[in-house]
Structure 1
Amino acid sequence: MNMRLAGFRDSLPPRALVIGAATAVVVAALTALSAPAPADDDEALKAGEVSHSKNVNRVGHVPKRSPLSDFNSDIAFHGDYAYGGNYSGFTIFDIAKPRKPQIVSQVLCPGGQGDVSVSPDGNLLFLSVDYERTNNTCNSESASPTDERVWEGMRIFDISDPSAPEYVGAVRTSCGSHTHTMIPDDAGESIYLYVSSYGPSKGFTNCKPPHDSISVIDVPLDDPGSASVVSTPRLFPGGGGPGTSGCHDITAYPDRNIAAGACMGDGILMNIADPVHPKVIDRIQDENFAFYHSATFSNHATKVVFTDELGGGGAPVCNEETGPKHGADAIYDVTGAGKKRELAFRSYFKIPRYQQDTENCVAHNGALIPVKGRDVMVQSWYQGGVSIWDFTDSSKPREIGYWERGPISDDTLEVGGSWSAYYYNGYVYSSDITEGLDVLNVRGLRSAKRVEWDVFNGQTQYQYPE
């Protein structure tokens, strides 16, 4: 969610933390003793609380629980575990039985956004901090952006024991970390994190203009506590598009040495053969886009889907007045080869159902479903729910399934809905901002069921077999 742009950043109440991360884990783990709420789409459907296509239904649910009462955000996966980000920390879920997910532990560590990723071996979790804090620990407090002691950036946790995560280090980055992208090095000795952030101001201590770069963090796997920034590549040395002052998110495809950046007023294609020094090879701007938010490659990296987070995630733009080309996805073919690759626009996609004006709804986080011979994606649309859509023909995308709750309120606009939706080993997992974790079953995509991942981070793509 685009907190800086939407103006939520200063309106949210300050967060005070009085217990450390280790204590929070012990306290929160006790909640796992209670059973998850039942997932009964049929009853919810009768009550008018849920609508869905015939091929999609909810089969599991875990409601959000104290002490993580803030917004839920992104999700990552490793083995039988899902890791749910929250503006105040993260939750680890046991999903060995996807229809009966259970909370294993929770870490209370406030910092805003809470974008998460997990290392390929499942031992490390990375957590983005986008709000100014008094220091880098979980015991920090909110700070003014003009305070000299202000800290924001990346926190690193050891999650080798999912029931007792341990804080192992942190790295300060310019303008903090709104999101980040994990890229393993070829030697298996380090992990690189591409840190995206934006929103500079001359008066800010840690976020001054011009902010035309990302931060690249090197995390040595044998000593993650010594992680540090090793480069700050400038992506827009001549200035970006209107309003561009950093990137919101980057999706990397390491096997293809390519990445796509969603950078406010610009969409970019990068060569990441040298991951410490990525190079921009093409840049696009779309007059119908308000804010380049995220990107997804097709399996063979011949296409890129960019999302437009019109209204910063807090506005109702899935309506007739806004239309089909704003707050939507834009599909591009990748033409050419090597350093001569370019992005060629083909079409827009937006969910084909109008939402109420009390529902924040816009294109948000999603990723591919590994369907043989087709390009199929699952995607969150906040209160527009979860959409499954096919862009095999990049000029004629079409929705093939969906699941959504009704509005939080029929009278007032309240921010909520699905933040991230990803397919992982047979099921779609959706992180709902206010409601918790939903598990969805999608029928009719049999080939996807045969693809098993050991690890899944939405912004780090790997080619699946076809």
Structure 2
Amino acid sequence: MASLNNPHVTRRRRIGVAAAAAGLLAALLTAGPAAATPEPGDTPAKRQGVSASQQEEVREAIRSGETPGVDEIVHSKNVEHLANIPKDALKGLNTDLAFQGKYAFAGNYDGFRIFDISNPKKPKTVTQVLCPGSQNDISVSGNLVFLSTDSSRSDNSCSSTTQPATEKSSWEGMKIFDISDIRNPKYVAAVETACGSHTHTLVPERKNVYVYVSSYAPLAAYPDCQPPHDGISIIKVPRKAPQKAAVVDFPVLFPGGGNPGGGPANPDLSETTGCHDITVLPSKDLAAGACMGDGILFSIKDPEKPKVIDRVQDNVNFAFWHSATFNERADKVVFTDELGGGSGATCNAEVGPKRGANGIYEIKGHGDKRRLAFKSYFKIPRHQADTENCVAHNSSLIPVPGRDIMVQAWYQGGVSFWDFTDSSNPKEIGYFERGPLSTTTLSTAGSWSAYYYNGHVYSNDIAKGFDVLRINDRRTDPAKWFHQRELNVQTQPDYL
């Protein structure tokens, strides 16, 4: 059996396994987990029991070799596991990633951690910042780091505590840090946004950074999150005066209402009450939004006035439109479906290959007449145990000229490399994963984000920490020639 200390083990898994605030600590020594309550689309912190028969199925799958052992690392022959840095002071759930120069910025429900990745085989912690808040989705632009807070807090400080959203004084939204001194980030601004900030997307300009804030799940009892919540908050941040950051608009994306959700054909389908995530392609003035029950394509020629140009639904197979990725030529969009909010064991024969998967759409037409046309689904071809949360999650394009290849996180389904150059016949070309965290409970774990950055893949595992991978494959080798100074995956660069 392989261990974390012996990661270079390859074993194929067979298809068909049974179903600016007080309290900011820039150099952190100890921290307790944030008492954040995940909302739909989050991964819950609780462990869920599974039946005795399911437990036995998991154990039998491990004995037979169909499933890796607990915490055992397996990967395809073309993938190397170079490093793992376990959690340290920040004990919450690891979340998203961003990159700048030789640094990786890793979100965590308790704050964020900065790594020096100049030697990808030996990442080093630069600093850890304690600033609890659900999600802590993270981005970086110039000297500024942006952090999403999507849990109701007592105030906007980094020493805040949880407080009911029914109280008007509660706060959630965007936090902004200055990283001019990379070892000592300085909290410089906070902007409250309606329904908080589940995720955010940067639209950077020379003088300003626009922040598209995605949030959802309004309730009449919440003073700062009132229905209908059918749009996004737009924050304008002056680079030279980030303390002046403010909401400049709340454009309505669904003036006639979004998908009502539910229905006999798909009771898991989410009602659209906002967006979960947005990816922008600034070079093309284009954006794609994953908005719970809807997928949208919109123009961002005027970053303060985004304009929806097409909208699609999948009321049979998609449950929760989670995120979006453009291909290199911007004539395709891959939308992900986070069936079960990331908490379910949905990578099995019972759920099947079309639910909790990716939907590949081609973009037809030009300008404001562009339309999204569905082509196919993609889901990892390796069934997971009933104690493994697994579903499509965060991904990035691998910049290979003339081909459409992505790397993607699947929670405990691991990291998948897959090719969708042929939109109708996508296929996996490599993978990395760990065995289940437990054989008795469905536990929150696995890769939250897996992104390609300057020759390597970096994964933020919810439970196990920061992983570094490398793929050695003729199909992806050309990407090694493409280097960038900064990467926020939801602000997609022009690879051409």
In the superposition, the TM-score normalised over structure 1's length comes to 0.90
Q: Which aligned pairs between 1:69-108 and structure 2 lie closer than 5 A?
A: 69-108=91-130
User: Does structure 2 retain, via aligned residues, the 8 Å contact 1:377–1:390?
Assistant: yes
Change (3 A) 1:48 1:27: closer
Q: Write the letter of the residue equivalent to 2:161.
A: E
SS across alignment from 1:437: strand
- Does 1:59 pair with 2:82? yes
1:252 corresponds to: 280
Change (3 A) 1:164 1:28: farther
User: Does structure 2 retain, via aligned residues, the 8 Å contact 1:28–1:105?
Assistant: no
1:14 corresponds to: none
Q: How far 1:463 moved relative to its partner? A: 1.2
User: Does structure 2 retain, via aligned residues, the 8 Å contact 1:233–1:278?
Assistant: yes
Q: How far 1:160 moved relative to its partner? A: 1.7
Q: How far 1:446 moved relative to its partner? A: 1.6
Aligned length: 427
CA distance in 2, matches of 1:462, 1:82: 17
1:234 corresponds to: 252
Q: How far 1:60 moved relative to its partner? A: 1.2
CA distance in 1, matches of 2:70, 2:208: 51
Question: Percent identity at matched positions?
Answer: 59
CA distance in 2, matches of 1:403, 1:446: 18
Q: Deviations over 1:33-57 (max 9, x none)?
A: xxxxxxxxxxxx8997011100012
Q: Write the letter of the residue equivalent to 1:303.
A: K
2:374 corresponds to: 345
User: Does structure 2 retain, via aligned residues, the 8 Å contact 1:251–1:295?
Assistant: yes
1:280 corresponds to: 308
CA distance in 1, matches of 2:252, 2:302: 15
1:381 corresponds to: 410
- Does 1:136 pair with 2:139? no
Q: How far 1:290 moved relative to its partner? A: 0.2
- Does 1:410 pair with 2:439? yes
Q: Write the letter of the residue equivalent to 1:20.
A: G
Change (3 A) 1:47 1:234: closer
SS across alignment from 2:172: strand
- Does 1:25 pair with 2:54? no
1:5 corresponds to: none
Q: Write the letter of the residue equivalent to 1:405.
A: R
1:10 corresponds to: none
User: Does structure 2 retain, via aligned residues, the 8 Å contact 1:327–1:362?
Assistant: yes
User: Does structure 1 retain, via aligned residues, the 8 Å contact 2:135–2:150?
Assistant: yes
Q: Deviations over 1:410-447 (max 9, x none)?
A: 11100110000000011000000011100001001221
1:204 corresponds to: 222
Q: Write the letter of the residue equivalent to 1:367.
A: S
User: Does structure 1 retain, via aligned residues, the 8 Å contact 2:99–2:486?
Assistant: yes
Q: How far 1:203 moved relative to its partner? A: 0.3
Q: Which aligned pairs between 1:54-453 and structure 2 lie closer than 5 A?
A: 54-66=77-89, 68-119=90-141, 121=142, 123-185=143-205, 188-242=206-260, 243-287=271-315, 288-444=317-473, 445-453=476-484
CA distance in 2, matches of 1:48, 1:357: 15
Whose RCO is larger (CA < 8 A, sep 6+)? 2
Change (3 A) 1:209 1:449: same
CA distance in 2, matches of 1:446, 1:419: 25
Q: Write the letter of the residue equivalent to 1:50.
A: I
Q: Deviations over 1:45-97 (max 9, x none)?
A: 8997011100012101110112x100000000000000000111100000010
Change (3 A) 1:237 1:162: same
User: Does structure 1 retain, via aligned residues, the 8 Å contact 2:389–2:412?
Assistant: yes
Q: Deviations over 1:327-360 (max 9, x none)?
A: 0000000000000000000000000000000000
CA distance in 2, matches of 1:112, 1:425: 29
For structure 2, the residue ranges without an aligned partner over 5 or more in a row are 1-20, 32-67, 261-270
1:454 corresponds to: 485
Change (3 A) 1:46 1:207: closer
User: Does structure 2 retain, via aligned residues, the 8 Å contact 1:59–1:439?
Assistant: yes
CA distance in 2, matches of 1:462, 1:127: 21
Q: Deviations over 1:126-147 (max 9, x none)?
A: 0000000111111211111111
Q: How far 1:25 moved relative to its partner? A: 2.3
Q: CA RMSD in A?
A: 1.4
CA distance in 2, matches of 1:132, 1:428: 33
In the superposition, the TM-score normalised over structure 2's length comes to 0.85
Change (3 A) 1:47 1:278: closer
User: Does structure 2 retain, via aligned residues, the 8 Å contact 1:28–1:107?
Assistant: no
The range that moved more, 188-197 or 132-141, is 132-141
CA distance in 1, matches of 2:248, 2:329: 30
SS across alignment from 1:201: coil
Q: How far 1:27 moved relative to its partner? A: 3.5
2:59 corresponds to: none
User: Does structure 2 retain, via aligned residues, the 8 Å contact 1:26–1:164?
Assistant: no
CA distance in 2, matches of 1:262, 1:143: 28
User: Does structure 1 retain, via aligned residues, the 8 Å contact 2:406–2:419?
Assistant: yes
1:463 corresponds to: 494
CA distance in 2, matches of 1:320, 1:78: 40
Q: Which runs of 4+ in 1 moved over 6 A?
A: 45-48
SS across alignment from 1:400: strand
Q: Write the letter of the residue equivalent to 1:72.
A: N
Q: How far 1:300 moved relative to its partner? A: 1.2
Q: Write the letter of the residue equivalent to 1:25.
A: A
CA distance in 1, matches of 2:224, 2:343: 26
Q: Write the letter of the residue equivalent to 2:485.
A: D
SS across alignment from 2:425: coil
